[in-house]
Amino acid sequence: MSMSFEIGQVYNRREDLHGHYGGQEQGGISTPADHPLIFLFTGASGSEYGYEDEFRPDGTFWYTGEGQVGDMSMDRGNRAIRDHAADGRELHLFEAVGNGEVRYVGKASYLTHHWEERRDANDNLRRAIVFELAVDPRSEESSDVAEPNAEYVTRRRLQNRSLEELRQLALQRASPSASASERRIVVRQRSQAIRAYVMKRASGVCEGCAKEAPFVTSQGRPYLEAHHVSRVSDGGPDHPRWVIALCPSCHRRVHHGQNGEEYNARLTKSLGEMESNEDA
């Protein structure tokens, strides 16, 4: 049986998905028993329970785990996501578009997860699992861009651009009439451009502690991580001035350090200073 879904295509969740594959018809994570796949559903309705799924500036998708009340735990659907590769199951991400219909976003894979304080259905703070997923760029390109290696080619091209050119690319906007999938492409292009811009701006030195990148990647580039200093509400990267290149240690410090928020505020301030010349 073919398990290929077409990106951007709208499906009736109950008939087209559960009718063919089975799986729980309610909730965000559905694990059909007789097929090696897992359906993930994201959508506006979840946000009332503190579900703030979104594409991040680095192109990953953050997906909130299941469990509406109390601390989440790494079992059932949540464990299924974490272990999908080892279990040989594919993750397929859909976004709700209303009336029981969902639009296919793409094939996803688990990268890692972290825990966040979020509000539950009773408005109490609890520990929530946030999965960091890669959404397969190849399937997106095959239907939207029609160039098999576009992602790779784009990345190579970006590395050769000047700082100013990258900045312009990073600021491009989708037209207001663009469809969700067109907007997603612009978000992806912007996120790549912002990343390339920030890495070029840092030129191998952590913008937090001013130490050199801890190692060189297999592609021969200094290893630094892009960190977004403020939360993005629209699911896309907004501006290079909110993204900073950090060594892994500084990046962890922001998220897990005792004074992480304070440190993040300091980074935000120094980013503002770094970028102030560019705003003329």
User: Residues in the site for Zn ion, rule: CB under 5 A?
Assistant: 206, 208-209, 247, 250
Q: How far is the CB of 244 from Zn ion (least distance, A)?
A: 10
Find the shortest distance in angstroms from Cβ 253 to Zn ion.
8
Decide whether 52 or 225 has the Cβ nearer to Zn ion. 225
Q: Distance between CA atoms of 69 and 232, rounded to whole angstroms?
A: 25
Which secondary-structure segment (H or E) carries 277? none
Q: In 10 A of CB 161, how many CB atoms?
A: 16
Q: How far is the CB of 239 from Zn ion (least distance, A)?
A: 22
Which C-beta is closer to Zn ion: that of 235 or that of 257? 257
Minimal distance, residue 208 CB to Zn ion, in Å: 4
- Give the helix ranges, DSSP H, for the chain: 19-21, 76-82, 84-87, 137-144, 150-159, 163-170, 180-202, 248-256, 260-276
How far apart are CB 252 and Zn ion at their closest, in Å? 10
Q: Is the Cβ of residue 10 or residue 274 nearer to Zn ion in the bound state?
A: 274
Nearer to Zn ion, 214 or 272 (CB): 214
CB contact burial 197-218 (16+ within 10 A = b; e otherwise)? bbbbbbeebbbbeeeebeeeee
Closer of 119 and 266 to Zn ion (Cβ)? 266
